[in-house]
Amino acid sequence: MMKHTYKVTGMTCVGCSSFVERALNDVDGVTKATVDLEKAEAEIEMEQHISLEEFQKELGSHYHIHNSAEEAHEHETSKKKVK
């Protein structure tokens, strides 16, 4: 069993965090996922390593999952420049 904490961007309300939590719990191999809206983090317990791509596929395009706060910040910065 392993536990990882990831940054999740795109959540703006409790409904968003509930959706993200349900989506992450639906990924095969996840034993428990909890989401903290204020910290913009997801803590995921899994039986074996699951790639970020698998989590991202389940979350769709509205939310983005990252290994670290630095990557999340870079993503948000580049997204703002595109607009």
The DSSP string of 33-57 is: EEEETTTTEEEEEESS---HHHHHH
User: Average pLDDT per run of 10 along the chain, which is 83 residues long?
Assistant: 95 97 98 98 96 96 84 48 48
pLDDT on residue 78 = 47
Angle at 43 between CA 38 and CA 49, to 5 degrees: 150
pLDDT on residue 72 = 46
Helix (H, G, I), strand (E, B) or coil at 65: strand
pLDDT on residue 9 = 97
pLDDT on residue 8 = 97
Q: Where are the domains of the chain?
A: 2-82
Question: What pTM value is reported for the model?
Answer: 0.79
What CATH number matches the domain at 2-82, 1.10.3720.10, 3.30.70.100, 3.40.120.10, 3.10.20.30? Answer: 3.30.70.100
- Rounded CA separation 61/9 (Å): 11
- Rounded CA separation 57/61 (Å): 8
